[in-house]
Structure 1
């Protein structure tokens, strides 16, 4: 195994399944879908349901931040705070110049964009908020996390569509290995449950048209017909293994390797043979110094779209013919776009830590054409020494993260 391992010393999440890591993990392990017709804003649209985070605790966030920040930044701030606390770090005493922030986001402040555009059209230019631009632009989420924690090292936002969160984590690992930082707060965030974004994905044919929201997201099921839009944020605190050991903090897991490739095939469709994804999985294993046979679990991208699940199954079977356990969290959480790779990275870390693979919700009739060793209905308990987390995005982006037990 590679010596270039990075310690995952803290994790944080806020998702439709809960306001923190423990709540989300419990609901994901239950396999209970979070999809519901929760937003009046979606009424009358081609798809009226989504997976939404429960009402934000204004006390945790601060009323000022509720007013001046778009929701995608609010979610990330909460997840980052939990991750830093979980890592046992004191932001008041750390060397902020050696702390970086890398956050993935596919869209940014689309909710702010839609609301301010409506003001402009209906009431004139004077009613547009002077905070419109800082609320909207995606890079501000990294800046706000840096501001909140006194992180004065490199800060940036990665945007690779639905692979954005995973790209951020891989980039953070590179910063640590290059000795540009000692600590990196890394993850992803997205708040896309808006009328325009939902309609765009629906008209693209990507969203489920199911009548029952709770059974709409069906990864790898023979009756799958698209994903369910979701919002979320997931954050990991990453450090070099020796630095974590020096302060006496035992990691939850190790980020052992990463692989990043591009299909260069089609704007929105994966390569039919998954060539780029195959290369990404193999690159992650090579980077980690692992053999395919070492992998015991794959947290799949598993969007529940007809094409993605077919291609991903081919990729997994080609790279990992020994049939490791496969699951997709999107049956429970929906698809949170730029946040998905980070949320699923946290879930993969928890699987390694707790020796548990959560079920794939709504997997009532696994598609026999896919031939995967899928975990459905109930959790599977077994030691997980090595696990991969797959993330693929529009534009042909492929990112695979390899995690292992400390």
Structure 2
């Protein structure tokens, strides 16, 4: 029997925008997914001692190209983080057909996420912080919320705004918070997502943990040896059913769960207590049962600890593990943007009846019967997707995204049988 879905308004996704190593918009990303083409390789625009030895999921446009595309050539103080955010945000709000008035309405909120923020300019930050410069144009751009402030200013956003940093679960948490704002009636429309760019700050930090791979990552392979850092900007427009009206609707945000196992600063607990709790809560709040999940877009970083713990957690929840894969094998780990990136990939899966495979799998993980999808699945029924994002410090977030059902299908869910209009009106 289905459990009761969380009370409140229905939350629809009416616009999406994305730039990653796979492409400069949603369409280009989708083409790369169905062709099995990853965007991981040697970095060209990012300068580091490690660009010759490590692989990265780098966006293919330079800062100058991004500025030209966005008509920001004459603007100062825009870091790469800000530029990626504006690019993805603009695509999302344009896709949703939002007017200037709607963007600046007090009923429209903005919740963004980043882990790196303006610290992508690590060397310049060092110079400015230690007064070894005369003060660069980026003095106000180093904070985690700098890109959010740029969006607020550029798009004249007047409603509630916030910036979340919970490491790798950051933008998944923006989606959860945005949905809760709409369900509780505190906002009618929330633009959610996140952005991160490659930075010496994060590359050096992850390298110190010895979890970066020289080669394109291979999540859920027995011989996986680490992750690839990537960069991306990804945003979704969430709207309540009442204002979505006859708009194109991509999917519905059905459920979400967040937990924290408080086990270790950078590793997940072996018993997957946090991951299990977030997944179980997300499924229960969606009002469905585990057997209804058609696909899991895993956190799947390619590190020995994460993949083992996540797969253990999945095996504890599902009697029969549904198809699963890691799309980080295409983009690398985009940190604070990854939850929103993978939510968009999950939506593409739902909309196009496709499941995108994990790449680079050679040997299945020992000790588990469940194996990741390794070939594109087309023309398959994908009604519910579970998307996982697990962050440092044990902050685990899971989302359930679903296909938007017709009115009669919703009544069947509610009543348990087909009904006519008179019965529907009586109910």
Residues 228 and 196 of structure 1, relative CA distance in 2, 3 Å threshold? same
Aligned partners of 1:331, 1:34: CA distance in 2, in Å? Answer: 9
* CA deviation after TM superposition for structure 1 residue 104, in Å: 1.4
TM-score by length of 1: 0.92
Residue pair 2:293, 2:385 contacting (<8 A) in 1 also: yes
2:174 aligns with 168
1:141 aligns with 147
1:226 aligns with 226
Aligned partners of 2:334, 2:53: CA distance in 1, in Å? Answer: 16
Pick one of 114, 117, 126 that aligns with 1:108: 117
Residues 153 and 281 of structure 1, relative CA distance in 2, 3 Å threshold? same
Aligned partners of 1:337, 1:146: CA distance in 2, in Å? Answer: 22
Pick one of 64, 69, 92 that aligns with 2:78: 69
* CA deviation after TM superposition for structure 1 residue 342, in Å: 0.8
Q: How does 1:85-234 map to 2 (within 5 A)?
A: 85-92=94-101, 96-118=105-127, 125-129=132-136, 131-132=138-139, 134-191=140-197, 193-208=198-213, 210=214, 213=215, 216-234=216-234
Which segments of 5 or more consecutive residues in structure 1 lack a partner in the other structure? none
Residue pair 1:107, 1:138 contacting (<8 A) in 2 also: yes
RMSD: 1.9
Aligned partners of 2:209, 2:102: CA distance in 1, in Å? Answer: 49
Residues 65 and 389 of structure 1, relative CA distance in 2, 3 Å threshold? farther
Residue pair 1:255, 1:403 contacting (<8 A) in 2 also: yes
Aligned length: 395
Residues 311 and 87 of structure 1, relative CA distance in 2, 3 Å threshold? same
Matched, 1:42 2:48: yes
Residue pair 1:219, 1:363 contacting (<8 A) in 2 also: yes
TM-score by length of 2: 0.88
1:80 aligns with 89
Pick one of 13, 29, 32 that aligns with 1:27: 32
Residue pair 1:298, 1:389 contacting (<8 A) in 2 also: yes
Aligned partners of 1:364, 1:377: CA distance in 2, in Å? Answer: 13
Aligned partners of 1:87, 1:65: CA distance in 2, in Å? Answer: 28
Which segments of 5 or more consecutive residues in structure 2 lack a partner in the other structure? 405-427
Corresponding residue SS for 1:184: strand
Residues 272 and 44 of structure 1, relative CA distance in 2, 3 Å threshold? closer
Matched, 1:405 2:411: no
Aligned partners of 1:143, 1:84: CA distance in 2, in Å? Answer: 17
2:393 aligns with 395
* CA deviation after TM superposition for structure 1 residue 380, in Å: 4.3
Q: State which drifts further: 250-259 or 135-144.
A: 135-144
Residues 37 and 88 of structure 1, relative CA distance in 2, 3 Å threshold? same
Aligned partners of 1:276, 1:174: CA distance in 2, in Å? Answer: 21
* CA deviation after TM superposition for structure 1 residue 95, in Å: 5.4
Corresponding residue SS for 1:366: coil
Residue pair 1:42, 1:49 contacting (<8 A) in 2 also: no
Corresponding residue SS for 1:42: coil
Aligned partners of 1:318, 1:360: CA distance in 2, in Å? Answer: 21
Residue pair 2:189, 2:237 contacting (<8 A) in 1 also: yes
2:283 aligns with 285
Residue pair 2:15, 2:94 contacting (<8 A) in 1 also: yes
Aligned partners of 2:305, 2:74: CA distance in 1, in Å? Answer: 40
* CA deviation after TM superposition for structure 1 residue 44, in Å: 5.1
Residues 322 and 242 of structure 1, relative CA distance in 2, 3 Å threshold? farther
Q: How does 1:229-308 map to 2 (within 5 A)?
A: 229-245=229-245, 248-308=246-306
* CA deviation after TM superposition for structure 1 residue 57, in Å: 3.2
Residues 266 and 149 of structure 1, relative CA distance in 2, 3 Å threshold? same
Corresponding residue SS for 2:324: strand
Residues 141 and 261 of structure 1, relative CA distance in 2, 3 Å threshold? same
Residue pair 2:112, 2:194 contacting (<8 A) in 1 also: yes
Residue pair 2:17, 2:234 contacting (<8 A) in 1 also: yes
Residues 69 and 31 of structure 1, relative CA distance in 2, 3 Å threshold? same
- Residues 117-173 of structure 1: per-residue CA shift (max 9 Å, x gap): 14676xx544221531x2111112222222222221111111110000101111111
